[in-house]
Amino acid sequence: AKQQGKAGFVRYVDGMGEPVLAHMQLGGELRRALDHDEFRVVYQPIVRLDGNRVIGVEALVRWHHPTRGVVSPAEFIPAAERTGLIVPLGLFVLRETCRQAVAWLDEFGPDALKEAGLNVSARQLHDPDFVSDVAGVLADSGLPCERLVLEVTESAVLRGQQVSRALYELDRMGIRLALDDFGTGESSLSLLRAFPAAIVKLDKSFVDGIEIDDGLPAAADARQAVARAVIQLAHALGLDTVAEGIESPEQVTALRELGYTLGQGFHLAEPMPAEGVSRLLARQQAA
Ligand code: C2E
Ligand code: CA
Ligand code: CA
Ligand code: CA
């Protein structure tokens, strides 16, 4: 059965009801898009939960397709990973983010923005050139290592020796590693012992509904229990935390009560072009 995808891609639905993108065709399209400079990076602010001060950003890629408009990464990252195109695409996002972070630091000073983060796929960590590529981009851009955050998921981290070696090298260089979508994997807790993480990002699924007072004591409330366990563990291990996907002021209150100090989400700030972040930083500097 054929079905029209959100961004206009034809999806083929197999017998199991799983939508499958036409990957081969999309792979060719992505190559063309990269050659034609159709990818853009937007930045979502990471803010302090007390007072909304911006302390960092997460870079998120967008595809500005000539006829389909803006295509979300959920539509093309899987195909980019499968075809290997995530390697040059990821390098583009890295260069762009480092260049932009340096521009912000030049314009607004070293205290304006602590760090800039971006997502890294397992496929990139498997690339034997990844660590030296990152070192090269940092050197070219002039961004200090400790200002860069690389976000990886638990499943990416668990991909064997080559990947762990790359992660330890990046950590040794002073780059900060964040465990993305934390709590959704199967071995989150034991992973933290074995992995040089500096930051854990509490997954949106634990933030959704965290503000609901169901009359249960907090310890009996699964979402709150996970959110509390994550922050206790992070504190014990000396890690920073960021709560993801915050959509309401009530969620901010609930997270602050649990001890979270940093967050990200549509309620705080949506992903925006670099100029939008510049305006926020300018306003912060004036305040
Ligand atoms: P992610 O790394 O977990 O990024 C957070 C996603 O949640 C982003 O979606 C962001 O726009 C969205 N988001 C932020 N706040 C809220 C909120 O309050 N509510 C809701 N419902 N969503 C919120 P986006 O930009 O569509 O990216 C989706 C995923 O695609 C990312 O999830 C990441 O896994 C991947 N991705 C994006 N850019 C890149 C990239 O440059 N490289 C790689 N490898 N993956 C990327
Ligand atoms: Ca992320
Ligand atoms: Ca995430
Ligand atoms: Ca409760």
pLDDT of amino acid 5: 45
Task: Return the residue whose CA atom lies nearest to atom 38 of ligand 1.
Answer: 60
pLDDT of amino acid 20: 45
Report the alpha-carbon distance of residue 176 to residue 188 in Å, rounded.
18
**219 CA to centre of ligand 4 in angstroms:** 8
User: How would DSSP label each residue in 96-142?
Assistant: HHHHHHHHHHHHH-TTT--EEEEE--HHHHHSTTHHHHHHHHHHHHT
Cβ(22)–Cβ(252) under 8 Å? Answer: no
Give residue for tokens 């803010």. Answer: 47
Report the alpha-carbon distance of residue 239 to residue 215 in Å, rounded.
31
Per-residue pLDDT of the chain (287 residues; tens, 9 = 90+): 344 444 444 444 444 433 445 555 788 899 999 999 999 999 999 999 999 999 999 999 999 999 989 999 999 999 999 999 999 999 999 999 999 999 999 999 999 999 999 999 999 999 999 999 999 999 999 999 999 999 999 888 877 888 999 999 999 999 999 999 998 877 677 777 778 999 999 999 999 988 887 776 665 678 888 899 999 999 999 999 999 999 999 999 999 999 999 999 999 999 999 999 999 999 999 88
Nearest-atom index, ligand 1, CA of 201: 3
Beta bridge partners of 150: 118, 177
For ligand 1, pick from 77, 125, 203 the residue to mutate: most ligand atoms within 8 Å of CB.
77
**37 CA to centre of ligand 3 in angstroms:** 26
Report the alpha-carbon distance of residue 27 to residue 10 in Å, rounded.
14
Nearest-atom index, ligand 1, CA of 151: 2
pLDDT of amino acid 155: 84
Cβ(259)–Cβ(231) under 8 Å? Answer: yes
Task: Return the residue whose CA atom lies nearest to atom 8 of ligand 1.
Answer: 60
Q: Which residues surround ligand 4, an ion (CB under 5 A)?
A: 214, 216, 221
**158 CA to centre of ligand 1 in angstroms:** 21
Cβ(67)–Cβ(33) under 8 Å? Answer: no
DSSP 41: E
pLDDT of amino acid 154: 86
**218 CA to centre of ligand 4 in angstroms:** 5
Ligand 1 neighbours by CB, cut-off 6 Å: 44, 60-61, 72-74, 77, 86, 90, 93, 118-121, 151, 180-181, 245-247, 264-266, 271
**180 CA to centre of ligand 2 in angstroms:** 5
Closest to 178 (Cα-Cα) out of 268, 222, 114, 135: 114
Closest to 157 (Cα-Cα) out of 196, 206, 117, 115: 196
Task: Return the residue whose CA atom lies nearest to atom 10 of ligand 1.
Answer: 271
Q: What is the pTM of this model?
A: 0.91
ipTM of the complex: 0.97
Report the alpha-carbon distance of residue 241 to residue 238 in Å, rounded.
10
**2 CA to centre of ligand 2 in angstroms:** 31
For ligand 1, pick from 6, 30, 42, 60 the residue to mutate: most ligand atoms within 8 Å of CB.
60
